[in-house]
A and B are shown apart, each in its own frame.
Chain A
């Protein structure tokens, strides 16, 4: 599996070379490329139309907020990943024709995360982008109908951002005097039963080191 994806990563970087030199990583039998947000549409167009690649289906679009990545127990652990920005939009593409997959990640600005919509290329991305907008607050320019989808009518905030509390901001109840449902500031207190911990784990040290050295090699090359 990994063998196949190493070959595929060569094909992908070759096909995209004219647009952008992309970084391709194969891990756990999956191929990931990181592209700049300005070139995303051009790159997706090639990924879809190149007959060797032919990614004809969009499986998933999701937003990730990397703002607390590697933070646990009050201190920041050493992690190998360098987050280039706060937000990322991650696309999982599938080729039904050639039976392979790819993950495309594009990093977005911290204060105004906006990227071009891929709905003109795959109409299946429509709701996934709406969901990413709703939950993470990434704007997809050119999306035909960018409304909230999963949260309540009139909801404020983006729940999957790391600065949004798990208990939420408001709670609702039926007020017998006013004869309607009212919203109030939340009275629950956030409770952590098991803290978030990152341990230096010797069992994975070798694997992580291998990854780091290969990263360094790529950088020096």
Chain B
């Protein structure tokens, strides 16, 4: 009998279940995975190198493009590191706005994850449901920053501008009649906060809908229960953070453990799993969406009742008011300096992490006092998670690789940077 050898299979980079550009070299014994070797870097854009040659504020836009499904959370980590080096406080209203948009981003990210993960496993409907809700949240992004995805809304010292008083409306056209458009505009009559309030009222019901489709679904359970099990000790050793760590039963969440912004004033719970399999991580993320919804409701209440500045008032660091720029000599100088030279950040180094929807997203900035970072290192959660794919898939079937990629919530923008 001839010697039986393992079969090597190339998976990706152009594969719908690869969540972008993952190239996996799989070594198979029949249909059982012996070894998985991911090749990443196909989306490497050199963000860290580019940031070294740009002034601090110019790199905010690059942060959006790292993890392109949770844009504002990336900006948040970057801005917080700069604020730490500058030793400035962000106004309270800006902190609430940031927290609210972080949670909106978390829901956006988890909806994307849920839709694509379920699609990979075979549930088409989920994808359509999830993208329906994403639309509303992206409209909120658009209302506040003018961009549906790459917002660049957070700035060191606060947020770019206060929340708008009105929402953009749909307009009638030859394809959409006036009555049709009026119906679409019914929840857009008030401010952005009213629109979000209406969304949060509906969202709890939407999550129930997702759960009726998946939680007790026989096929979903067969595909996810006991797949990709990671114990708590293994998860810590592998550098897991976020839902990947919580799914293994470790109650670790930076929003509770190292509260930044106003998270210590808000009421929310941290869901944890017990088995550390794909199904537990699914349940954790579903519950996180409900908790994020709770946080958004609290933020809306606070923001409705409290006014104030949304940007730090030291215009050596932040952009001056437009009116000041036109009428005040000093304002004009500040404006000119801000955009032609930027601001110097005092010498030192800082690492600031945030609880990103995928795990711990951190930026490490080394500054030598110049107007550009000396070294910027982006710590992406997905990078540590994907590194464990060999560990998680070994001994599983070929089809389970897709489930494991799905449960890791892989986005290549942040892994390849």
Contacts and interface: CB of A to CB of B under 8 A. Distances in A.
Whether A associates with B in a native complex is yes
B40 A62 contact: no
B98 interface: no
A174 interface: no
A124 B388 CA distance: 8
A150 B360 contact: no
Size category, B interface:
35 or more
B41 A28 contact: no
A112 B303 CA distance: 56
Given A197-B370, A197-B371, A198-B344, A32 B349 contact: yes
B353 to A, nearest CB: 8
A104 interface: no
Contacts of B44: 150-151
Given A59-B379, A149-B40, A160-B49, A96 B236 contact: yes
Given A28-B84, A159-B49, A99 B371 contact: no
A125 B239 contact: yes
Given A28-B350, A122-B239, A197-B370, A192 B53 contact: yes
A32 B351 CA distance: 11
Nearest to B345: A204
A126 interface: yes
Given A57-B239, A124-B237, A201-B344, A79 B53 contact: no
Interface in A44-100: 56-60, 62, 64-65, 69-70, 72, 77, 79-81, 90, 92, 96, 99
Interface in B320-369: 340-342, 344, 346-351, 353, 360, 362, 364, 366, 368-369
B371 A30 contact: no
Contacts of A59: 239, 241, 353, 360, 362, 379
A150 B237 contact: no
Nearest to B340: A194
Given A28-B84, A28-B348, A30-B351, A123 B341 contact: no
B304 to A, nearest CB: 31
B370 A150 contact: no
Contact of A166 (B53, B257, B384): B53
A208 B417 contact: no
Interface in B5-63: 40-41, 44, 46, 48-50, 52-55
Interface string A24-46: 00011110100000000000000
B66 to A, nearest CB: 13
Contacts of B348: 27-28
Contacts of B258: 99
Given A77-B369, A103-B351, A151 B257 contact: no
Contact of B239 (A124, A149, A204): A124
A36 to B, nearest CB: 19
B85 interface: yes
B407 to A, nearest CB: 18
Given A28-B348, A194-B341, A123 B371 contact: no
A56 B362 CA distance: 18
Nearest to A71: B368
B416 interface: yes
Interface string B249-273: 0101000011000000000000000
Contacts of A92: 351, 362, 364, 379
A30 B257 CA distance: 15
Interface string A173-210: 00000000000000000001010111101011001100
A208 B348 CA distance: 10
Nearest to B366: A64
A152 interface: yes
Contacts of B40: 149-150
Interface string B397-417: 000000000000000000011
B377 A208 contact: no
B257 A196 contact: no
Contact of A81 (B347, B350, B383): B347
A56 B236 contact: yes
Give the one of B44, B340, B341 with max A CB within 10 A.
Answer: B44
Given A59-B353, A194-B342, 18 more contacts: A28-B85, A28-B87, A57-B241, A59-B239, A59-B360, A69-B368, A72-B370, A90-B364, A92-B351, A92-B364, A101-B351, A123-B237, A128-B384, A150-B417, A160-B375, A196-B370, A198-B344, A201-B344
Interface of B: 40-41, 44, 46, 48-50, 52-55, 84-85, 87, 236-241, 245, 250, 252, 257-258, 316, 340-342, 344, 346-351, 353, 360, 362, 364, 366, 368-372, 374-375, 377, 379, 383-384, 386-388, 391, 416-417
Q: Which 7 A-B pairs have the closest CB atoms?
A: A124-B239, A127-B387, A150-B41, A204-B346, A62-B377, A60-B379, A150-B44
5 contacts: A103-B351, A125-B239, A166-B50, A192-B53, A196-B53
